[in-house]
Amino acid sequence: MKNKAGRELPNHIYGLKAYRPYEGLFVNPPEPVPMAGRTLRVGRPSSNKVLPSLIEAVEATGLRDGMTISFHHHFRNGDYVNKLVMTAIAAKGIKDITIATSSLNDCHDFLIDYIEDGTITALETSGLRGKLGAYLTKNPGKLKRPVIVRSHGGRARAIEAGEVKIDVAFMGVPTCDRFGNATGRLGKSACGSLGYAMLDSRFAEQVVLVTDNLIDGYVFPYSIPQTDVNYIVAVEAIGDPEGIASGILKITKNPIQLLLAEAAAKVIEHSGYFKNGYSIQMGGGGSALAVGRFIREKMLKQEIKGSFGVGGVTGLFAQMLEEGLFEICYDTQTFDTTAIQSLRENPRHVEISSSFYANPWSPGPIINDLDVVILGATEVDLDFNVNVITNSNGLLMGASGGHSDIAAASKLAIIVMPLIRGRLPMVRDRVQNIVTPGESIDVVVTDRGIAVNPRRQDLIDNLRKSGLKIMTIEELQEVAHKLVGKPQEIVLSEEDKDIVAIVEYRDGTLLDVIRKPL
């Protein structure tokens, strides 16, 4: 079976239900889908939700073999909560656990041990990195089914539609009161927005909050309300502040990345969307921050005022909000301490859930009104398909994040990447794995020229006046091949048992499968 992205899909994938193939960017559900619910649980007057340990919390929830638990990744590479919880679950001898998390980072490499001993048998996530990503790529049979990779919007959709049923959500919260009202804005482990935790807490059968700042007063405003919380456990530390958030993310000094950023800013300037009231998502990488710096300068010089910014928020965007360059900022994930302070103090900096952000089956995710987005890529192909999940060796090392969500919903999706990394050309005949379909990508900006998707003749016409070097995607690839030659393709296993992961599109259809390299 071949899907609309041109990927040949297996008829059956071990351990998984039958899948609908990807059919295009905006396809309605095959039938009306009711929103998922959960079991009502009654709290009695003066009851105490605070338990002395995570082991007692695991016992109180009735967690048992075969259940699904969830975590969020707002603590990024400084997360301690996942390990604390898994230690307690393993101590109880519980096996066959599915982890359905918003993402995984290098700090979660310890999960390998729990996969080896059968405590964990399935993973659903947006991202896989580090030793864990390499381990799963090389050992697909260690789990009872392939890893399911979902975008942030796709995960929100799957939870609300009941496709992902979370039995117990273990949510790390930087500050919490004894009733269960919690926030990420305050505390020694402050991470800012709890956009992913907000959704899990609302839909999980039971919710355990884990905090290192349990207060006797009242938390307000709160991100998670007490009505969604069953138990609370106080621990010494829920994360490493150095891994959770730095002071302010730094703009790159790499000359190639600055060149890329300047070109991307010029694309935005001449796209036809750069005018009063426009909206943008910039991201938090060094290149994206550099694009933001150039855009800020252009907005100040041309006296342009935007409407809103959205997504992962940095100190740079918080500064632009403070300067009045944008009216409002919607934050589902906060990247640095400057942005955390902004979320705490600026009423126009608004915390949102991942469903509000990008759920394609909601009546109005905020990204549906987005004009411009800047995205990265590990590679693109001649059909503008984008890979951000596997590296040149075929190993899982990245994250889907909101990539496919915002590319589909925005009016102008720009990929920014060097034409060559090391000695490898980044424009391929065919990307190893598709995370974002090419039909949702508008422009690819490289250090040797830019390519506009032929679907966007209006953009081609606008950008010809910019002075930028406009080329076809084939011409870009030819330049790269002349410089470093054509690379050899990775040989992948065709065996069904060697399917490492599947990539769901945001609507739940099957976009691609990730296979074990030979």
- Residue-wise pLDDT for 349-385, tens only, equals 999 999 999 999 999 999 999 999 999 999 999 999 9
Over the chain, what is the mean pLDDT?
A: 95
- What confidence score (pLDDT) does residue 247 get? 58
Question: Is pLDDT above 90 for 56?
Answer: yes
Burial 139-155 (b: 16+ CB within 10 A, else e): ebeebebbbbbbbbbbb
Other Cβ atoms within 10 Å of 12 Cβ, number: 10
Q: What is the pLDDT of residue 422?
A: 87
* The residue to which tokens 């925005």 are assigned: 410
Of the pLDDT bands very low, low, confident and very high (cuts 50, 70, 90), residue 248 is low
Res 287: pLDDT: 75
131 pLDDT above the threshold of 70: yes
| Chain centroid, CA 254 distance in Å | 25
- Angstrom CA distances, 299 to 27, 138, 269, 302, stand at 36, 48, 9, 5
Average pLDDT score over residue span 18-23: 93
Segment holding 260, helix H or strand E: helix 255-270
Instruction: Supply the pTM of this predicted model.
Output: 0.96
Distances 461 to 302, 413, 468 between C-alpha atoms, Å = 22, 17, 12
pLDDT score, position 383: 98
The answer to whether residue 145 scores a pLDDT higher than 80 is yes
Encoded amino acid at 268, one letter: I
